Homo-oligomer: A and B are copies of this chain.
């Protein structure tokens, strides 16, 4: 028997979905104006946060992309010179993805407007209670997802 959402639960879920759709869309538009897509930006940020280089597998796990999506997108980014890929020295099957100088420059070019937008749309209006609630909710959701076999 499906436990459908009651009205209040439905309102909460719809509020989240609506926020996510609108925020994603605005952020994508903002990044595009600075020359990168949201997908490019996610990859650039993850590589930069890891010191400029990651195993392909670890990069996929970090940003939650499946192998096929990651491989296709990295090929496009490599063709634009934003990343390069090489064999991991200590693992014949491992592939390393590396941020290039051009990738770092693209990240630095997009970051200021992106951060301003994140502030304006999301962070600046948030109360401390909302921020604390969001962090505790997010921590629990992430651990619930990691307990499932759905990643």
Contact = CB atoms under 8 A, between A and B. Distances in A.
Nearest to A120: B144
A90 interface: no
Interface stretch (A19-27, A71-79, A92-100): A19-27
Copy total for this chain: 2
A95 to B, nearest CB: 21
User: Size range of the interface on A?
Assistant: 35 or more
A116 B4 CA distance: 8
A87 interface: no
A64 B112 contact: no
A39 B133 CA distance: 29
Please classify the interface of chain A as helix (H, G, I), strand (E, B), loop, or mixed, using the class held by over half of its residues.
helix
Given A4-B115, A25-B64, A63-B21, A13 B123 contact: yes
A142 B19 contact: yes
Interface string A14-55: 011011111111100110000000000000000000000000
Kindly list the 7 A-B residue pairs having the minimum CB-CB distance in the complex, ordered from nearest: A133-B133, A19-B138, A15-B138, A26-B150, A25-B64, A2-B112, A21-B64
Interface of A: 2-5, 8-9, 11-13, 15-16, 18-26, 29-30, 63-65, 111-112, 115-123, 125-127, 129-142, 144-146, 148, 150-151
